[in-house]
């Protein structure tokens, strides 16, 4: 149904915010032969352009998928060789317990997230929620050995391979490598885009939508579509109104999140395209959190008619993020159909 080997490569490559080079180089290699031109801007965004075939007015569609993953940066090496770190992106501290990480220094080194053992915690400490500052990284080396390979400022990513679980894929960094995969696969299948497509693989989304701001300002799109994960809270204890989306129920058409209210015309267009092409979909309203949608929508000089295709994902911002293969396939189909049918919709309505 989907190319698991390609998805595995994309998810497992490192790319903390500001340190996206390895995933960027991979994207450039894979996208180069699928588009008419490709460029990397000064911030590190990849912009791959595929020319429209029915575009007398030179309309531009920006499609954004961010390459970065949540990670950390080394801030201190103590006298015993343990590392202290600062987060790059949003973390729930309790998800760090018993995890392996990769420090990308002069060479890659595996470390483990350590904290005070429960055996020596006070009764009060056992009842408190963990804080990021409770954790350190243990490399199993003394300070002099650590300093041969690691320095302050080195990025850190989480270590977890992609596996298939039933009809789902499970890995670290499904957010947002699943969207990178969807955009690459759409470019591969896209033969007749209506307008010029600016497939934009952005950087530093997890720390403030920074890459998309620069790209949208440069591209100045007429239309915008962001690709990102969204919460699937279809879990034990969740009420119906809390689920946001559910796995296996189709791709999600964003109505709003905390940083953007999608243009009603784009929402209507996506629903119409999905219905006409028998693509299963669900709608998404996310009251907290945001995506590149916001930057695509308002950072161009004229603003953009913008919306988003969201991929339902369980266990977000953990190393066990999970997406359903059929939802991923539906997302590719919807994006491709939207890009091919944009000139057939009344955008003035």
Element (H, E) at 276: helix 264-276
Cα–Cα distance measured from residue 232 to residue 26, given in angstroms and rounded to the nearest whole number: 29
Q: Cα–Cα distances in Å, from 58 out to 52, 187, 343?
A: 8, 19, 12
**Coil, strand or helix: which one is 173?**
coil
Q: How far apart are CA 284 and CA 327, in angstroms?
A: 14
What would you report as the CA-atom Rg of the chain, rounded to the nearest whole angstrom? 21
**How far is Cα 14 from Cα 20, in angstroms, rounded to an integer?**
7
**284 an active-site residue?**
no
Three-state SS annotation for 181-219 = HHHHHHHHHCCCCCCEEEEEEECCHHHCCHHHHHHHHHH
- Quote the CA–CA distance of 315 and 320 in Å, as a whole number: 6
**Nearest by Cα to 222 from 163, 265, 170, 282:** 265
Residue of 205, 206, 284, 340 marked catalytic: 205
Distance from C-alpha of 324 to C-alpha of 73, rounded to nearest angstrom: 31
d(C-alpha 240, C-alpha 183), whole Å: 31
- Return d(Cα 138, Cα 161) in angstroms, integer: 21
Sequence-distant (≥ 6) Cβ neighbours of residue 293 within 8 angstroms: 64, 224, 226, 228, 254, 257, 259, 260, 262, 306, 307, 308
- Residues annotated as catalytic are 205
């Amino acid at each position: 149904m989907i190319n698991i080997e390609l998805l595995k490569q994309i998810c497992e490559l490192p790319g903390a915010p500001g340190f996206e080079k390895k995933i960027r180089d991979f994207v450039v290699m894979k996208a180069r032969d699928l588009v008419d031109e490709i460029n990397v801007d000064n911030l590190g965004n990849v912009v791959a352009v595929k020319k429209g075939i029915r575009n007398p007015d030179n309309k531009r569609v920006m499609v954004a998928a961010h390459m970065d993953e949540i990670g950390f940066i080394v801030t201190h090496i103590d006298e015993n060789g343990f590392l202290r770190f600062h987060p790059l992106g949003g973390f729930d501290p309790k998800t760090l317990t018993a995890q392996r990480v990769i420090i990308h220094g002069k060479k890659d080194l595996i470390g483990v997230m350590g904290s005070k053992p429960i055996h020596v915690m006070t009764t009060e400490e056992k009842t408190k929620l963990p804080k990021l500052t409770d954790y350190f990284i243990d490399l199993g080396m003394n300070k002099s050995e650590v300093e041969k390979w690691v320095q302050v400022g080195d990025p850190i990513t989480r270590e977890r391979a992609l596996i298939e679980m039933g009809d789902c894929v499970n890995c670290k960094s499904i957010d947002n490598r699943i969207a990178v995969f969807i955009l690459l696969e759409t470019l591969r299948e896209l033969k007749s885009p209506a307008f010029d497509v600016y497939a934009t693989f952005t950087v530093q989304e997890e720390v403030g939508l920074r890459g998309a701001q620069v790209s949208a300002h440069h591209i100045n799109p007429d239309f915008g579509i962001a690709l990102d994960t969204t919460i699937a809270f279809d879990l034990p204890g969740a009420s119906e109104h809390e689920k946001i989306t559910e796995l296996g129920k189709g791709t999600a058409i964003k109505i709003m999140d905390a940083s953007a209210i999608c243009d009603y015309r784009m929402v209507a267009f996506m629903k119409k395209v999905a219905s006409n092409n028998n693509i299963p979909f669900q709608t998404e309203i996310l009251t907290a959190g945001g995506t590149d949608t916001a930057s695509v929508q308002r950072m161009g000089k004229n603003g953009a008619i913008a919306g988003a295709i969201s991929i339902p994902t369980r266990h977000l911002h953990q190393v066990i993020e999970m997406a359903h293969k059929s939802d991923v396939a539906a997302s590719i189909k919807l994006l491709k159909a939207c890009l091919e049918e944009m000139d057939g919709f009344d955008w003035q309505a």
